[in-house]
Structure 1
Amino acid sequence: MTRLALGQMRQRPATFLGLAAALFLAVATMTLFGSLLAAQLDAPARARTAPTGPGLTVIAAAFGEIAVLVAFFVVVNALGFAVRQQHRELALLRTIAATPRQVRRLVRHQVVAVVVLVAVPGSVAGAVAARRFLTELTRRGMASPAVRVPATPVPMLVATAAALVVGTAAAAVAARRIARIAPAAAMAASSTEHGRGGLMRVLVGAAALVGGGLLCRLAATRPPDEGDKAGQAALLASLVLLIAVALLGPLAARGMVAVLGAPVRAVAGCSGWLADANLRGYAHRLSAAVVPVALLVGLSGTMSIMTSTAENALGRAADPGLTTVTSDTDTWLRQVELALLVCFAAVSTVNTLVALTADRRREFALLTLVGATRRRLLSMLGIEAVLTTAVGVVLGGLVAAAASSSFSVALTGSAVPSVPAATCGWIVVGAAALTVPGILGTGARAASGPATERVGGQRG
C-alpha cells in the first residue's frame, strides 16, 4: 500500500506539491503560536504581564484561532482536490478487488508521507518565526523582555501530531465516496465529472451559511468598547461564510458564470463559447478554482475594510473605547494577521489552479485533434482565467461585505463600512496576478507536444 501511495505521488507531483505546501504552512503556523504559548508559560511570573497591549497569551490565541482554522480549511481543500485527481486510478483499484478499507488506507498513507516530509522544515520555520515575532512584540512593548521561546520540541511535536490528525480525518472524508460506491460505478464516474454535490453537502453548506450569518449578527451587536470582540467575530464569520462558498461553490459558480459568460460569448466568439462551455460543464472543477480566489479576496478584503472602518470611526468620534481597535500596535497586529492569511490563500490559489490546468492535457489534445490551434487554446484559457477571477472576486467580495458591514454596525452604527478603494483594487489585481498567469503558463505547457501522444493521458 505504501508503494502504491508513493507511486501516485510521483505520478502527480503538482497535486501533492500543493498538499505539501498547505501542510507545511499548517505545521509552521501551529508551531509558531504553540511556541508563543510555551514562552508565556515558561516565563517568570513577573514577566507574564505585558507592559502594553493584550498580552502574549491573548495574541497567540487570537492569531492561532483564525490562522489554524484557515490552515485546516486549506489542507482539507488541497487533500480533497488531490483525491479527486486520483479518481480514475482509485476506481481501477476498486475494479481489481481493492476493498474500501484499502482505498482509505492508500489515501491515509499519502497524507502521512506528506506530513512526515514537511514536519521538520515546517517546525523549524515555525520556531524561527516565533522567535522573530516575539522579538518584534518585545520591541513594541507587547511582551516583557524576560520572555524567551524555550528550547523544547513540544510545540513542534504537537503541531505535527495535529497535522496528522487533521490530515487523516480529511483523508477519510475525501476518500468516502470512492470507497463506498460499487467498483463499476466508480469506474463509470471516473469518465465524467464526478463528485456531484449531494443533499448532505447542500445541507452542510446551508448550515455554514446560517452560522456565518449568526456570527455576523454577533459581531454587529457588540458595543463600541468591545471592538476587538466584534472584529474577531466578523473575521470568523468571513471564514465560515467562505466554507459555505466552498460547499455550495458548484451551484453558485455555475450560476454566476452563466451571467458573466453571456457578454463574453457575444464578444469573444468561438474562444469565449469554449471557455464558457468548459466552466459551466465542469462545475466542480470551476468551484475548485474559484474557492481559493474567493478565500484570498474574502479574507484580505475583510481585514482591510475592518481596519479602515476602525480608523475612520476613531477620527470621527474621539471615543476612548475605540482605541482598543485603532492603536498603532493593534493595526500592526492586524497587518501581520492579514499577511499570514494572504499567504495561506495565495498558496492555495496557485497550487489549485496550476494542478487543475496541468491535469487537462488530454482535453487540450482532443481539442487540438478536432482543429483547435494553440493560439485558440491559449485564448480560451485566458478567458477562463478572467471569468474564474471574476467569479472568485465577486464571491469573496460578498463575504467581505457581509463581515465588514457587521463590524461597522458595532463600531459606528452604520452598515456601510469605510472601503479603502486603493487597497481593494490592489487585492483584485493581486488575485488576477495569481490566477491568470498561473492558468496561462501551466496551460501552455500542458498543450505542448504531439496531440496524439497526449490524448492517451489522463482525463482533464
Structure 2
Amino acid sequence: MEAMISLAWKTLRHRKAGFAGAFVALFCAAALVTACGMLLETGLRGALAPERYAGAPVIVAGDQFERRVVDKGEGETKVKAKALSELRWIPENLAAGLAAAPGVEKVVTEVTFPAGDALGHGWESAALTPFTLKSGRAPEKAGEVVVDASFRGESFTASGRTYRVVGVTHQALPSQRTVFFSTAEARRLAGRPGLVSAIGVFPQVPVTVKGAIAYTGDERGAVEFRDGDNARIKLISMGGAMGGTSLLVAILVVVGTFALSIQQRQRELALLRAVAATPRQIRRMLGGEALAVSAMAGVLGAGAGIMLGFWLRGRFVALGAMPDNLHLVLSPFPMAAALLATVAAAWAAARVSARRTSKIRPVEALGEAALEKPGLPVGRLIAGLVVLAGSVVLTILLTTLDTEAAAGPVTMLTALAWTLAVSLLAPLIARAVTALPLRGPGAGGYLAARNLRAGTKRMSSVITPLSLMIAMTCTILFVQTTLGAAAHDQAVAGVKAETVLGPGASATAAREVPGVRAVTEVLRTSVRVDLERYGAQAVTPRGLDQTMDLGVVAGSMASFGEKSVALSTKAAGWFGVAVGDRLALTLGDGTPAELTVAAVYTRGMGFGELTLPHALVSKHVDDPRGTLLVAGGDRAALSEAGPLLSPAGNSSSGGAAVNYVAMGLIIAFCAIAVVNTLAMSTSARSREMALLRLVGTTRRQVLGMLRQETAGAVLVSVVLGTLISAITLSAASLGMTGSLMPSVPPLGYLGVIAGVAALALAATAIPARLALREHPAEAIGGRE
C-alpha cells in the first residue's frame, strides 16, 4: 500500500502536464458547487436586515404567509405556509389596544404606498427609522412633502400632482427613496380607509394582537421587504437546480478527463502490469493520484467558489432578483460539500476509468497499449443503452410538463442524459464516422483521416465535451427564446389596442382624448389556488373587446364582471373547472375570493393564466399603477396621459436574464472542459508530432493534420449536440407552448457553433505550436 502511494506521488511530480487537465476540471467543479451551495444556504437561512423599521423594536403587521392545514392521513395534520406576494394590511384601531398594553410607552402607525419613484408614508411614522429633519419643517398641508437626503429640487410629483418640498431629512435609506406626506394626504393616497401597513411599538415588550403578528429583530426586515421571501425561494430553487446540474456536468467532465488521462498512460500502466503489479495495486495507485489532485483542486476551488458566490449575488441584485440587504450566508457547509463531491467524483472517475486496464493480464498488457481493441466493453455498452432508454423516457416526460417551474430542471436533466448516452457510446459513434470515405486536402488531410481511423478512442474523448457544450449552450439559450417568443407572439396577437401607456398613466385623462373608443386598465399580479402561485392579470371589463383578444374558446368575456374570473386552457385543466363553475382563490395579500368562471382562453402565456376584475384586485396590491390599453385616439395626445409602451411590452420578463447569468456558468464550465480536453489531447501527442517531423513532414502539414482532425471532431459534435438540443427543446416547447417547433434565432445558433469551433481550433493550435518549437530529436528523447 505504501509503495503504491509513493508511486502515485512520483507520477504526479513527473506528469504535471497530464494532471493539470484533471486539476482544472476539478477546480472548476468545486468552485461551481460551492457558489451554488452558498445560494442555496442563503435561501434557507438568509435574513433581511430592516432599514425603514430599524428604529422600532417591535413591528406589528399582518401575517405575511398564507397558511393552510393539510391532512397527512391517519389523523395527522400539518400547516403549510406560502409567502404572500402583496402586503397584508391590518386595522388601524389595533393601535389603541397596543398602546394600552403593559410596558408600552408609544405606538406609531404606518402606511406605505408607491409615490412616483419612491415610497410614500405619513410623517407621523418617521420615528420608525428614525428620520429627523436636517432643514425645513414637517408637512402640514395636503400639498406639502418632506423628502429624504437623496432628493434634489424644490418640488415632487406623484399621482399626477406636484407637491412642494418643505423639509429634507438627515437620512436616506440605501434600498429605497422615501417621501413623507401629511397624515391625511398619506391616508388618501394609500387608498385603504381604516387600515395601516404596520404599527411600531416602543420599547420592546411582549405584545399579543389578534389578527396580527409582532415582529422583532431581523423578522422586521421580512415585513419591510416582502419580496425577500420570494427571493429566498428563488435562491433555493436556483441554487438547487444549478448545483445539481453543475454536479452532473462536473461528473461527466471529470470522468472524461480521467479517462483521457489514463488512455494516454496505457503504455506506462501496461509496463507496470508486465512487471507484476496487481490490478488492485494499479487501482490504488490511480485512486491515490485522484485523491491527491482532487484534494488540492477541491480546497482551492472552494475558495474561488466563495468569490464566485459573491459575484453571482451582485449580478442578481443588479437584475432585481434579490434585495440588496439579503446578504450571503457564509458557513463551512458549501465548501465541505464541494470538497467531498469533488474528491468522490475524482476517485470514482479514476477507478471506473482504470477498471479495464487494471484487469488486463500481464502478457497482454503491452499489446493492449499498442493497439486499440474494436468495440466497447459489455458493461459500458449496456450502460449506454440503459441511459439512452432513460433519455427517451425523460423526453416523453418533458412533453407532459406545462409549467416552467416543473419543466426547467427536467429540461437540463434531459439534455444531460442524452449527452451521457453519447459519451458512453462515443467510441461506436467515432468508429462509424471514421469508416466513411472522408478526407481533407493535401498531406494533412491524408494524415488526419488515418489518425482518426486509428485513434477512435481519442476522437470519442474529444466528442464528449464538444457535444456537451453545444447541447447545453443551445438548450440553456433557446429554451428562454422559445418561451419568450411564445409569450410575445400571444401578446402581439391579443393586443387590439393601438396604444399602450405605462405605469402611472391616467385612465381619466386617456378617456378624455378625442377619438378614444375604449380604455382598459391592466394590472399584473399573482394569486394562489390551493397554495400554488399563478400569474394573473386584472382588467376593467368595459370596452375589453376593443382592446384585448384573449383567444376565448369557451364562454364569453361579455359576461365577465366583478364576480368573474377567466382562465387559460392550462389553468382550467389544472383546476378541473369549466365555464360556470366556482373557483376559490387567494389574492396577493391573502384575501380569499370565490369567483365564477366566465371564459376559457388560449393566450395564457401572453396575458397570464388567470384574468380577474380590476376593481377587485386593485384594492389588494401594493402598487395599483398598471398599464392602459387604449383603442383609438391620437398617440401624440395620449402621450401626455402617460409614457408610451410597445403593444407587447407587458409580456416581457426579467427572469430570462437571471437564468442566463445562473446557467451561463454551466456554459463557461463546458467551455473550460472543451479547452482542457483538447489541450490535454494535443499536448500528449508531442512524441507523435516529433516522429512526423523526423520522417519529413513539415510544420505546416502537421498543423494542417491537427486542424482537420479537430474540424472533423467539431463537425460530428455539432451534429450530435444539435440533435440533442433539438430533441430536448422540441419536447419542452411541446409541453409548455403546445408547439413542437422551438424558437431558435439563426444568428444565435450560428454564433454558438462558430464560438465552439473557434474555441476548439484555438485549444488545438496553441499547444501544438508550443510542442513543435522543440527539436524533434529532443522531443522524442525527453519523453516516454
Fold agreement, TM-score > 0.5: yes
1:139-172: per-residue Cα shift (whole Å, max 9, x none)?
Answer: 5454455543233222211211121122212222
Separation in structure 2 between the aligned mates of residue 166 and residue 151 of structure 1, nearest angstrom: 24
Q: Does 1:75 align with 2:254?
A: yes
Q: Give the match for residue 254 of structure 1.
A: 431
Separation in structure 1 between the aligned mates of residue 783 and residue 462 of structure 2, nearest angstrom: 19
Q: Does 1:64 align with 2:243?
A: yes
Shift in Å, 1:192: 2.0
Separation in structure 1 between the aligned mates of residue 750 and residue 716 of structure 2, nearest angstrom: 16
Distance 1:442 1:195, change over 3 A: farther
Q: Give the match for residue 9 of structure 2.
A: 6
Distance 1:324 1:405, change over 3 A: farther
Structure with greater strand percent: 2
Q: Give the match for residue 28 of structure 1.
A: 31
Q: Give the match for residue 729 of structure 2.
A: 404
Equivalent positions of 1:151-230 (< 5 A) are 151-193=330-372, 197-223=376-402, 226-230=403-407
Which of 695, 698, 701 matches 1:373? 698
Equivalent positions of 1:11-410 (< 5 A) are 11-44=14-47, 46=219, 47=222, 50=228, 52=230, 54-143=233-322, 147-193=326-372, 197-223=376-402, 226-259=403-436, 262=438, 264-265=439-440, 268-318=441-491, 319-321=603-605, 328-410=653-735
1:29-75: per-residue Cα shift (whole Å, max 9, x none)?
Answer: 12112222222333359549745465221121122121221112111
Distance 1:417 1:93, change over 3 A: same
Structure 2: which amino acid aligns with 1:375?
A: R
Contact 2:488 2:652 in 1 (8 A): no
Separation in structure 2 between the aligned mates of residue 324 and residue 50 of structure 1, nearest angstrom: 23
Provide structure 1 residue ranges, at least 5 long, that are not aligned to the other structure. none
Q: How well do the aligned residues superpose, as a CA RMSD in angstroms?
A: 2.5
Distance 1:323 1:274, change over 3 A: farther
Moved more, 149-158 or 387-396: 149-158
Structure with greater helix percent: 1
Distance 1:323 1:154, change over 3 A: farther
Structure 2: which amino acid aligns with 1:292?
A: P
Separation in structure 2 between the aligned mates of residue 135 and residue 456 of structure 1, nearest angstrom: 52
1:283-337: per-residue Cα shift (whole Å, max 9, x none)?
Answer: 1111111211111111101112211111110012244457899863320232123
Separation in structure 1 between the aligned mates of residue 659 and residue 422 of structure 2, nearest angstrom: 24
Distance 1:257 1:228, change over 3 A: farther
Contact 1:313 1:411 in 2 (8 A): no
Higher-Rg structure is: 2
Moved more, 200-209 or 360-369: 360-369
Contact 1:50 1:142 in 2 (8 A): no
Moved more, 204-213 or 43-52: 43-52
1:186-237: per-residue Cα shift (whole Å, max 9, x none)?
Answer: 22211123695222212211211121121111111122xx123223212211
Contact 1:216 1:403 in 2 (8 A): yes
1:389-408: per-residue Cα shift (whole Å, max 9, x none)?
Answer: 11111111111111111111
Structure 2: which amino acid aligns with 1:123?
A: A
Distance 1:416 1:18, change over 3 A: same
Separation in structure 2 between the aligned mates of residue 69 and residue 439 of structure 1, nearest angstrom: 26
Distance 1:81 1:454, change over 3 A: same
Moved more, 318-327 or 335-344: 318-327
Per the alignment, in what secondary structure is the counterpart of residue 748 of structure 2? helix
1:253-296: per-residue Cα shift (whole Å, max 9, x none)?
Answer: 2323444x62x44xx03321221111122111111112111111
Equivalent residues, number: 453
Query: TM-score normalised to the size of structure 2?
Result: 0.55
Structure 1: which amino acid aligns with 2:414?
A: A
Distance 1:457 1:92, change over 3 A: farther
Structure 1: which amino acid aligns with 2:386?
A: A
Distance 1:327 1:183, change over 3 A: farther
Distance 1:413 1:91, change over 3 A: same
Moved more, 447-456 or 292-301: 447-456
The share of aligned pairs that are identical, in percent, is 34
Per the alignment, in what secondary structure is the counterpart of residue 175 of structure 1? helix
Provide structure 2 residue ranges, at least 5 long, that are not aligned to the other structure. 48-217, 492-602, 610-650
Moved more, 437-446 or 422-431: 437-446
Structure 2: which amino acid aligns with 1:343?
A: A
Separation in structure 2 between the aligned mates of residue 356 and residue 87 of structure 1, nearest angstrom: 14
1:69-123: per-residue Cα shift (whole Å, max 9, x none)?
Answer: 1112111111222222222212212222222222111111111211222233211
Higher RCO (C-alpha under 8 Å, 6+ residues apart): 1
1:11-46: per-residue Cα shift (whole Å, max 9, x none)?
Answer: 332321111111111111121122222223333595
Per the alignment, in what secondary structure is the counterpart of residue 370 of structure 2? coil
